[in-house]
Amino acid sequence: MQKSNRLYWIVVILMGMMLIGGCSTGAAQSNAQDLPAALPAGEDGVIAVVDGRPPLGRPSLGSSTSAPARLVLPSIDVETDVVTIGWHMVQQADGSQASEWEVADFAAGWHKNSAHPGEGGNVVLSGHNNIRGAIFRKLYAMQPGDEAIIWAGGQEFTYKVEEVMVLEEKFAPYDQRIDNAKWIKPFDDDRLTLVSCWPEDDNTHRVVVVAKRVNE
């Protein structure tokens, strides 16, 4: 009987140590995942893959969420789903850890730390330009005055493009890359920011499109 009791307490203590260790690791990982300091990145040297894109459909109206669900850019013939994305930790060549934005496959990605349509602030969407659907392949071709339409929470939100920028990124100094990232940070006005890589066969630069909400 005593041997059975000892075995029971040994098992309890071991389980407790495992739980404590697991919680500590999780907390460390969570705290380490700081917001990325740079714009979303693409993948270098990959030829565009545009086949296999999901069939176009209409937005699902009546959803209770206010996160973007659908995006239409008529001037460059884009109509796509929008999914929520965040960031993750990656190991650098020197062994250090850094946070990096995720990029949605076959869809536009809504940065989960950015504003919701209709609440004011900066709604940020990013997407691939030469792989996995290449949703934003022609983003650089947008012009001031073009429309961007988002569906969220059963509502339609229209924005008008004001600026289209192509920014040096891959070989730019660190300070410049940090400055580039200001476009996806919070703003007081009601705007939409679209981000992708450029040119079509590489990812050395970033395209940033800024559109302002149209009063309806």
Is 206 inside any structural domain?
yes
Task: Tell me if 121 is assigned to some domain.
Answer: yes
How far apart, in whole angstroms, are the C-alpha atoms of residue 50 and residue 138? Answer: 12
Domain count, the chain: 2
On whether both 28 and 104 belong to a single domain, the answer is no
Residue 111 lies in a domain: yes
**Quick one: 13 and 120 in the same domain?**
no
Same domain, 27 and 80: no
Q: Is 91 within a domain?
A: yes
CA distances from 78 to 40, 82, 150, 159 (A): 20, 12, 12, 15
Whether 117 maps to a domain, the answer reads yes
Same-domain status, 124 and 21: no
Of 177, 207, 214, nearest to 36 (Cα)? 177
Same domain, 20 and 78: no
- In a domain? residue 43: no
| 92 and 13, same domain (yes or no) | no
Domain with 170 in it: what CATH number? 2.40.260.10
Shared domain for 106 and 186, answered yes or no, is yes
pLDDT tens string 109-128: 999 999 999 999 999 999 99
- The pLDDT score that the predictor gives to residue 123 is 98
Residues 91 and 184 in one domain: yes
Residues 17, 111 within the same domain:
no
Q: Does residue 189 share a domain with residue 88? A: yes
User: Domain of 17?
Assistant: 1-32
| pLDDT in the model for residue 99 | 86
Cα–Cα dist 127/135, whole Å: 6
139 in the same domain as 185: yes
Q: Do the domain assignments include residue 83?
A: yes
- Tell me, yes or no, whether 25 and 76 share the same domain: no
Both tokens assigned to 201: 């066969």
Is residue 53 included in any domain, yes or no? no
The pLDDT assigned to 28 comes to 32
pLDDT in tens, 139-170: 999 999 999 999 999 999 999 999 999 999 99
Residue 185: which pLDDT band, with cuts at 50, 70 and 90?
Answer: very high
What residues have CB less than 8 Å from 2, skipping those under 6 apart?
none
